[in-house]
Amino acid sequence: MSERTAVIASRVGLHARPAGIFVAAVGELPLEVTIAMAGEPADDAMDASSILSIMSLGASNGDTVVLRAEGEGADEALESLVKILETDLDAE
């Protein structure tokens, strides 16, 4: 299982637009990706391809989240997702 942490960079957190961009990127991957707030048990992780899960996560600017995936290409996939989360998508 590959795991990466990311600090949410969007000024208002993972609200509709940044969450939508992130979910679309996850949906293009041939892997199941989960997301959780840092410090939460892995069993509480949510489906990262679900906009409802991402919105209910309640991640704000500066919060740390943990992404997990398993399978071929998981490390590269998680790195690309970290880059999305650590970009201020509200500034674009």
Every domain of the chain and the residues it spans: 2-91
Tell me if residue 15 is catalytic.
Answer: yes
pTM: 0.95
**Active-site pick, 3, 7, 12, 15:** 15
Mind listing the pLDDT tens digit of every residue in the chain (92 residues)? Answer: 999 999 999 999 998 899 999 999 999 999 999 999 999 999 999 999 999 999 999 999 999 999 999 999 999 999 999 999 999 988 76
The domain 2-91 is placed in CATH, from the list 3.30.1340.10, 3.20.20.70, 1.10.3210.10, 3.40.640.10, at: 3.30.1340.10
Q: What are phi and psi of 76, to 5 degrees?
A: -65, -40
Residue 84: closest CA among 4, 2, 6: 6
For residues 38 and 66, is the Cβ–Cβ distance under 8 A? yes
Backbone CA torsion sign across 39, 44, 45, 51: negative
